[in-house]
Amino acid sequence: MSWDRRVVRQVGLAQAALGFTVNSLGACLVLLAADLDSAPEELAWLSSSFGVGLLVAGVTGRWALRPGPRPALLGSALVAAAGTILLATGASAVMAAAGALLLGLGAAGFVLVTPALLGGPDAAAGLARAYAAGSVSALFGPLAIGALAATGLSGRLALLIAVPPLLFLAADARPRRSAAATGPHADAVSVPDAVSVSTTATVASSDAVSVSATATVASSDAVSVADAVSFSDAVSSSDAVSVSSSGSGSRCGTGDGPLGSVERARPQVEVARAPSVWRAAGVWATIVVAVSIEFCFTIWSTTRLQATGLPAGAAAAAATTFLVGMAAGRLAAPRLIARRVPVILVGCGLAAAGTVVVALFDAPVPVTLGLALAGLGVAPFYPVTLARFVQVPGLPTARAAAYGALASGTAILAAPATLAALGAALDLRTAYLVAVLPLALVLAAATLPRRARP
């Protein structure tokens, strides 16, 4: 499956900005602690800002995506830009907290929009490529912060590098009008939950369909047929309704008529079954576990390296080895997935091995190598588990994207804070063993192939 260039460009920019800023939070935590003369563990709230944003996105995501993903993308870019500026320049804990919260909300919007734009049967490969762009960009965040801090300036100022791309993304996400689409929501075309259908084309939507003699865009719930048929009742989000004038629906049923008609007859319409609650919950839980493992390293790797004797700037730079491993793994993931390699199982083994090295050694070089190995293993966890969730039969794309953001937010709020609490009670080395190894075991067990029932 291929996506148009505008979608690829916007997703790439969003993920690059997200990777650069969010993966710099660990380094910012260390530097902000030095600026405020406090311990890094006392600033664990900084890592929670992204999680809070994801929870908000998870709760409100279905409504935020109703006009289509691009309005949400535009707003997210502007909010993230404002948060980045505040976090980079804030001279007090209050300003830094406000910046972190805004950055978290904007970045969460990117997490919400990405699967909505890249849905389909090739979602795993498409998401892996998108997050690979974020992982590559993430390499430069801690490096830039460390390099700037080494000069004696505030390393947090390096975050400002992300502001121009965010503003460009906001401008690029503005609605575009064309001769064929002039309605107030014309930019919502080609969106999974609000689809425009002409009289010579047939498209099925997961939530709503709109048809007119030229082009009309529907809201996400109601079905309207301009100049021919009007419906006042809403179509259930689990229904897939086909509309056409000269062809058949892409997912179900057919319709015939001078301007197109909506057929609800049983022989011609397949109503998608509601998703299995237990299956959806199980796949959702694997996202929580996957993101928990990733953010245990993302937030606390700089602190772990600093404990080996490295100064703050050098620790922030060395922590990028985890991101190097992530980038390499995500770049390779689409090919491995195409060859049916069990990337989750292999990744769990590599992540566990890297965790052991990070925990058992107390010198910068082996800990750095352990982080790289862990990053290589963790790389496919999130894109693959998210793709599996988006593809749960009967689960509409908008809901899947919102619930996926909720899963990520739950993990990002819980896992780094738990690791910090364990580190305070024991030490960070032991905390990695106690927290990450069981999570890797749970994720591996959850993805083992199950025998078919007789």
Render 157-185 in DSSP notation, one character per residue: GGGGGGHHHHHHHHHHTS---BTTB-STT
What does pLDDT average to over the chain? 76
Q: Which residues pair with 191 in a beta bridge?
A: 194
In the DSSP assignment, the letter for residue 379 is T
Q: What is the structure's pLDDT at 182?
A: 39
Task: Look at residue 410 and tell me if it is in a domain.
Answer: yes
Same domain, 255 and 286: no
Say which residue, 199 or 389, is predicted with more confidence: 389
Same domain, 66 and 146: yes
Same domain, 282 and 246: no
Q: What is the structure's pLDDT at 450?
A: 63
Same domain, 410 and 313: yes
- Token pair, residue 72, equals 């949400």
Task: Look at residue 183 and tell me if it is in a domain.
Answer: no
Share of the chain above pLDDT 70, in %: 74
Same domain, 312 and 263: no
Q: What is the structure's pLDDT at 103?
A: 92
Which of the residue ranges 102-111, 115-124, 391-400 has the most confident prediction, judged by mean pLDDT? 102-111
Q: How many CA atoms lie within 13 A of 98 on its CB side?
A: 9
The H or E element spanning position 359 is helix 343-360
In the DSSP assignment, the letter for residue 229 is E
Range of the domain at 402: 5-175+274-446
Whether the per-residue pLDDT at 301 is higher than 80: the answer is yes
Same domain, 353 and 378: yes
Residue where a domain terminates, one of 272, 295, 327: 272
Whether the per-residue pLDDT at 353 is higher than 90: the answer is yes
Task: Look at residue 279 and tell me if it is in a domain.
Answer: yes
Residue where a domain terminates, one of 254, 272, 290: 272
CA torsion, ordered 177, 116, 138, 27, to nearest 10 deg: 110
Residue with tokens 């406090």: 38
Residue with tokens 């906001």: 170
Task: Look at residue 9 and tell me if it is in a domain.
Answer: yes
Helices and strands: H and E segment counts in the chain = 16, 6
Same domain, 15 and 98: yes
Mean of the pLDDT values across residues 7-25?
A: 88
Same domain, 307 and 423: yes
Beta strand pairing status for 243-244 and 261-262?
antiparallel
Q: Are 194 and 188 in contact (CB under 8 A)?
A: yes
Task: Look at residue 181 and tell me if it is in a domain.
Answer: no
Residue where a domain terminates, one of 249, 272, 295: 272
Task: Look at residue 265 and tell me if it is in a domain.
Answer: yes
Same domain, 438 and 289: yes
Mean of the pLDDT values across residues 4-16?
A: 86
Q: What is the structure's pLDDT at 225?
A: 34
The H or E element spanning position 233 is strand 229-234
Q: What is the structure's pLDDT at 441?
A: 96
* CATH of residue 126: 1.20.1250.20
Same domain, 202 and 78: no
In the DSSP assignment, the letter for residue 223 is E
Same domain, 123 and 266: no
Mean of the pLDDT values across residues 99-124?
A: 83
Task: Look at residue 153 and tell me if it is in a domain.
Answer: yes
Task: Look at residue 432 and tell me if it is in a domain.
Answer: yes
Angle at CA of residue 236, ends 232 and 238, nearest 5°: 155
- What is the secondary structure of 23-84 as a DSSP string? TTHHHHHHHHHHHHT--GGGGTHHHHHHHHHHHHHHHHHHHHTTT-HHHHHHHHHHHHHHHH
| Domains contained in the chain, number | 2
Question: Taking Cα atoms as reference points, which of 116, 7, 6 lies closest to residue 57?
Answer: 116
Same domain, 93 and 125: yes
- Reported confidence tier of residue 177, pLDDT bands at 50, 70, 90: low
